[in-house]
Each structure stands twice: as structure tokens, then as C-alpha cells.
Amino acid sequence: MPNHYGRKPRQPGGSQKVILAVGGSRHGRNLDTTEWYDPKINQWQPGPQTIASRFSGGLAVVKDNFVIYLGGVNLGSAHQSVYMLDLSSESPYWKSSVDMLIKRRHLGVGVINNYIYAVGGSDNNSCLSSAEVFDCRTQEWSMISSMNTRRSSAGIGVLYNLLFVVGGVDGLSKRRLNSVECYHPSLDKWTPVSRMRVRRSGLGVGVVNDVVYAVGGTDGFKVHKSVEAYSLSTGVWTSIPDMHLCRQFPGVAVLDGLLYVVGGDDGTSTFDSVEFYNPRNKSWTMLTTSCNYARTAAGVVTIDRPRNFKTC
């Protein structure tokens, strides 16, 4: 099998960062659209259409140029298929990549040293504690140690080359979790981390300036607008100011030192709105522009703007 993920030269002007949103669901209908946000002009622009309508998959960026969409839900079923978008291509389009070993929806995804980790989620029958890793060099998936707890709809953050899996739902009692565990790749071992103050599944997670943020989600009774933060230096979760809106299944991305929260839903309405948190002044700001599509359970990442992504 050819190596689809070989290092390619960075494109001229590629250092400008933008936010890419992929798939998701809107009012019960899966989306195959993508769009990207350019902070310089404060606008969302259409991106390459995906191969299939998906929501609750995972999204990752590896080797600067490759966006990877993993698993998710289509036609009511979990999938193990993986799609790739080569941003350095003259005409970027989505194509199939190497399937995961296990079907996963509501999974967590993280990247450490260009290894892609797919963690937990659920298949078509049960909630999962298993995890697997993709080696971009060999183009192979392999299983790693399972988490201590079954988790679906958890959040993922990478800090100091450690994989933090935050909250979720255990799938058995449908109990929302406030527990957190951390994966050490060199040891192939999961260890517990301090619990969050609030039980959260369907939360968003982002890392800014060595701090892990847990954003929104639901405790099974209500959707939260509360946010909490964790740093290794303190070893505890602390509350920070609430978002403007209650959001579950939002997309989260970090751009220019700001924590962006994209879309999501409040249990009734799906949002096209975006807000961002500035850690310097500890405040939330609503963007004055909205996404082209309301999206919940979408994949959202920060990428280098490709030269072939044009503004309208």
C-alpha cells in the first residue's frame, strides 16, 4: 500500500492558521459539507465535500498537510472507515484511507508525534474501553492498552505528549463521567487524573498554553455552558467563566492563543454560532459571523491555510 502520508513541502503562505469544520448533524440530518474560518476576514468559506455524510466521528491533522476523519455514524450505524484530505494537493479532495480495526462512533481522537490515536466510543452494540493507534509510516493500525473505563462521547486533549481522555458516558448505566485518565505512549499505560468538578459527556476539549479546557457537554439532565481547566502544575480542575450558550457536542479548536467553540446543540436547537475564550483576560466573545451550516457532533481542527482554499 502506498504511503499516503509522506512529508510534503509546506505551501507558500501556509503559515496562516484557519479553522476547518467537517460533517456533523443538523436537525437530525447528517452533513457531508465542510467549511473553514478565516480570522483575517472573519468569514466562513465552503471547503471540499466529504465522501459520505457523517457525524460523531473524529478529526485529526498529521504532518501539517493531512486531515483525517475517522469513524462516525452514517445511516444509523457506526463505521471503521477513515477518510483523508491532502491539503497540499492542487485540488484537495477526500479519499479513502486505511480502516480502523474497530467500528467507532462518538470516539476520541488525538495525535502525538504523527501517530493517530482512536480511543473509546461505541460500536453498534456497546460502549468501548479499547483504543488503537495508526502509524503513518507503516500505514497500519494496532491495538494499545484499553482504558480503565468504558467511555463514549469523551473529550481528548494532548499535553506534553500525553493523551488526556476527559469525561464521557460509560454506556452501561448511561452514567455521565467526571473521571479523567491519561495515556503514556512510551509505557502503553493509562493512569487516573484528578476528576472534573462536573460530570460531562459530549463535551469539547482544547489545550491552550499547557492548560486543558473541558467545555460544555451534558450531565444527562441538562446541557452545560460551564467550563473548567486543568494544568499539570496544579493537578486540579478549576472553574472558569461560563460560555454565552449551553453547548453539547461542540467542536473545539485553538487559534492564535484563543479557544474557539464551534456549533453544538442545547438538546433542542443546533447552533451555527461560534464563541471564543481569551485566557489572557478570562472572557468569552461571540463571533459576529456564523458558520454556513448549523453543526453538532462535527469534527473541528486548526490547519495551515492551503493555497488552494479560495475565498468567495
pLDDT digits (tens, 9 = 90+) for 225-234: 999 999 999 9
Measured CA to CA, the distance from residue 50 to residue 23 in angstroms comes to 8
Per-chain mean pLDDT for the chain: 94
Task: Report yes or no: 191 and 174 within 8 Å, Cβ to Cβ.
Answer: no
Residue identified by cell 468569514 is 43
Torsion sign across C-alpha atoms 135, 140, 146, 150: positive
Q: What is 17-304's CATH superfamily?
A: Kelch-type beta propeller (2.120.10.80)
Average pLDDT over residues 52-63: 96
Q: Which sign does the torsion angle of CA 227, 197, 235, 180 carry?
A: negative
d(C-alpha 60, C-alpha 151), whole Å = 19
263 sits in the region (left: phi over 0; alpha: psi -120 to 50; else beta) called left
Q: What's the pLDDT score for residue 311?
A: 63
How far apart are the C-alpha atoms of 225 and 245, rounded to whole Å?
6
Q: Quote the strand ranges of 39-130, DSSP E.
A: 43-46, 58-62, 66-70, 73-74, 77-78, 82-86, 94-96, 108-112, 115-119
Residue 223 half-sphere exposure, CB side, CA atoms within 13 Å? 18
Distance in angstroms between the alpha carbons of the first and the last residue of the chain? 37
Strand, coil or helix: 245:
coil
Identify the weakest region by mean pLDDT among 165-174, 210-219, 264-273: 165-174
What is the rounded average pLDDT of the residues 176-196?
A: 98
Comparing CA positions, the residue from 171, 62, 74, 175 lying closest to residue 109 is 62
| Of 291, 262, 307, 301, residue with least CA distance to 70 | 301
Return the sign of the alpha-carbon dihedral for residues 216, 106, 133, 131: positive
**308: confidence class by pLDDT, cuts 50, 70, 90:** confident
| Cα 125 from Cα 186, distance rounded (Å) | 31
> CB–CB of 35/44 below 8 Å?
yes
Element (DSSP H or E) covering residue 26: strand 25-26
Instruction: Give mean pLDDT, residues 170-186.
Output: 94
Give the residue, 312 or 165, on which the prediction is more confident: 165
The answer to whether residue 172 scores a pLDDT higher than 90 is no
pLDDT at residue 6 in the model: 56
Q: How far is CA 183 from CA 2, 54, 153, 235, 261, in A?
A: 30, 27, 17, 16, 25
* 295: Cα separation from own chain's centroid: 13
**Mean pLDDT along residues 190-207:** 98
Checking if the pLDDT of 2 tops 50, the result is no
Q: What is the mean pLDDT of residues 35-55?
A: 95
How far apart CA 264 and CA 25 sit, in angstroms, is 9
Show Cβ contacts of residue 251 under 8 Å, excluding neighbours closer than 6 positions.
21, 24, 204, 261, 262, 263, 264, 295, 298, 299, 300
145 has a pLDDT exceeding 90: yes
Place of cell 479560495: 310
Pairwise CA distance, residues 138 & 5, whole Å: 10
pLDDT of residue 14: 46
Query: Percentage of residues in the chain with pLDDT exceeding 70?
Result: 95
pLDDT of residue 43: 96
